[in-house]
Chain A
Amino acid sequence: MKKLNYLPLVAGAVLLASTALSHAKDSYTIGVSNTVQGNGWREEMVCAMKAEALASGKVSKLNIAHRNTDAAGQLEDIRNLISAGVDAIVVNPADPSGVNAALAEAAKAGIVVVAVDQGVTEPSAYVISNNQEEYAYLGAKWLFETIGGKGEVVYMRGAAGASADSDRDKGFKRALAEFPDVKVAHEVFTGWQQDQGKQQILDFIATGIPFDGIWTSGIDNVIVDALVESQATLVPVVGADNAGFVGQLNKVEGLKGAAVTNPGSIGGAGVALALQILEGQKPASQTVLVDPELWENVTPEGKAKLAAAADPSLSAEWPVSISIPNWTHYTKEQIVACKGPGE
């Protein structure tokens, strides 16, 4: 009789051992879902995911659903990844709440879900994201201070209706409220497209309306090109830490500007976080926010940071922050090669 009592315990131990075994496997498959294709930032993000998966040595296969689509299309992609039986899904969400249904289904199927770049409201998902509101606030505040706290600025936003754009808009408006004498001369959506942004600023220069500064949502180097080519006054320009723009801040004579970091390598950090959770190490908080930094070329300290960050070997549209300390483990060669496990 006494012996019988041990049975559940033994069974439990066996069960534990078997789950421990299944957790300790060293060849995970990780699914990736991304809904913007052909954009330098997103390409770097995907390459960082591949590089981190390769460098970790724990991923046997990456299953990447990467196309231009909407939240409904992302629901489809995530459900396909669930069907594929992946161990974890790293997702750059098309919308903070629009893909919750599929993320909850994934969590229910025992899949670890990590959202990168933008947050999601689904409570079971982990989030590792750049702080988009802070990104805009930091750059806008620097711009308004640099033009002397008054004047007209051109506000070149991202894609109309995108959540990262509306978050950045909040940060921009917050900075604008602190400088009552700064006015927005012209507001335009670049759609995060280089050619479109350049055409828009050329059109605006052609109107002859004076302006004192330009804030961009990351379509930056072509704006400086346009100012130089059309021989307009080189007003201060704020952009992201894209390799091309950082190079211009170092080299273009008379250009005042600032780059705000928005690392695309957050994708690699997302894969690293997913692997940690799969190995049983849960992070202290469900949401990890990476705060941006501002590098300007006015003070000597800022110039030093920009000079250290410059990397002409990268594609002009790639952010220079190709790794995130304490999170990513790959080498520069690995991310530039952009090869995942088994490729």
Chain B
Amino acid sequence: MSRFLRRQGWVAGLFVLFLALLVVTRLIQPGYGAADFGSLARAVLPYAFAVAAQTVVVLAGGIDLSVAAMMALTSVTAAALMAGASEEFALAVVPFVLALGFALGAMNGALIVVSRVPDIVVTLATLFMLQGAALLVLDAPGGGAAEWLKALIVGTVPIPGLPGAVTDWIPKALVVLVICLAVVWIPLRRSRLGLSLYAIGSSDLAAFRSGVPVARTKILAYALGGLFAAMGGLTLTMSTGIGAPIPGPYLLASVAAVVLGGVALGGGRGGLLGPIIAVFVLRLVRTDLTLLAVDPNVTTIIEGVIMVVVVMLGALVAMRGRTP
């Protein structure tokens, strides 16, 4: 039990913080209910996938600056392909776009491994390349999305045997998020590849000497990051019904949530659950600031202060825990 708490303490703490924020939100706006929680889940979607993409890469000891640009490119690609096409055609578009993300991520990884140029430089370069490519696909926001795809994240999931009061709090967007993340993350975590990923993140030299295929693992980490980014791009198209070629504010948000989620930026330590809950916390803070009608020029300052304070408090708690 204590081992579990030590390992999952950060995640548990974040979850408590999230619940506390929910209570605060209810106090600010007594009418805050299930429908509003659904809005929160939908707002979380693109951020959550951006964070998942960043987490996989950071765990493997890298950093991916091209996350937001990759989301923009995959989003416009999906929107451009689906514009005016049949509903069934979208069934082919989704796997194509996911494969595109996987390939672009693998390209990032391969460039880093082959050229030996630092991750931050390579992904900065691909950021500009992907941004330009997105504008080539669509020079202005446009395109379309299949109705079934848009409906996938609207409303709640009726579960037989559960009363409506409960299922109202299970928005489809949340279910989509959990399924998409679990399908990739759980097998990965249990596989050799997952272990190698943490190993090269901790120390690629030690991993290499232990016989871990460092280059292949790194490329796969970036490829999985690309896959998550493509999921994020798809959710952008699903929620807006269009594709926008200018990347949204997802890069910095992804790094922020990775840090807040308890993942070591140096790599090798942390999980996926922490950063995802961190995204929920950050989005709910934004909701509260809007509900409170805080001066918009002050909101980003408050968001930044909250992040620093939480991370510092966490470090303090961790330090105290270590002293006998």
Q: A interface vs B, CB < 8 Å?
A: 37, 61-73, 75-77, 79-85, 94-101, 159-163, 165-166
Q: Does B43 contact A (CB under 8 A)?
A: yes
Cβ-defined partner of B39 (8 Å) among A63, A67, A83, A97: A83
Asked if B31 contacts A101 (CB within 8 A), the reply is no
Closest CB-CB distance, B134 to chain A, in whole Å? 8
**Chain B contacts with A in 257-308, Cβ cutoff 8 A:** 283, 286-287, 290-291, 293, 295-297, 299-300
Asked if A68 contacts B249 (CB within 8 A), the reply is yes
Closest CB-CB distance, A54 to chain B, in whole Å? 15
Asked if B29 contacts A95 (CB within 8 A), the reply is no
Q: Does B36 contact A (CB under 8 A)?
A: yes
Asked if A71 contacts B141 (CB within 8 A), the reply is yes
Q: B interface vs A, CB < 8 Å?
A: 29, 31-32, 36, 39, 42-43, 46, 135, 138-141, 150, 154, 236, 239-242, 244-249, 283, 286-287, 290-291, 293, 295-297, 299-300
5 nearest CB pairs, A to B: A70-B248, A66-B296, A76-B43, A79-B39, A98-B240
5 CB < 8 A contacts A-B: A71-B141, A71-B242, A95-B244, A98-B240, A163-B140
Asked if A77 contacts B300 (CB within 8 A), the reply is no
Residues of A within 8 A of B296 (CB): 37, 64-67
What DSSP secondary structure best describes chain A's contact surface? mixed
Asked if B39 contacts A98 (CB within 8 A), the reply is no
Asked if A166 contacts B140 (CB within 8 A), the reply is yes
Asked if A71 contacts B244 (CB within 8 A), the reply is yes
Residues of A within 8 A of B239 (CB): 72, 75, 101
Residues of A within 8 A of B135 (CB): 160-161
Closest CB-CB distance, A196 to chain B, in whole Å? 14
Residues of A within 8 A of B141 (CB): 71, 94-96, 98, 161-163
Greatest chain A CB density within 10 A among B32, B248, B286 is at B248
Known contacts A66-B296, A75-B43, A166-B139; is A97 also within 8 Å of B241 by CB? yes
Asked if B240 contacts A99 (CB within 8 A), the reply is yes
Cβ-defined partner of A72 (8 Å) among B236, B245, B300: B236
Asked if B241 contacts A80 (CB within 8 A), the reply is no
Nearest chain B residue, comparing its CB with the CB of A81: B290
Nearest chain B residue, comparing its CB with the CB of A166: B140
Q: A72-B240, A73-B249, A79-B43 are in contact. List 6 more A-B contacts (CB 8 A).
A: A64-B295, A76-B39, A80-B39, A83-B291, A161-B139, A166-B139
Bound state CA distance, A205 and B244, in angstroms? 32
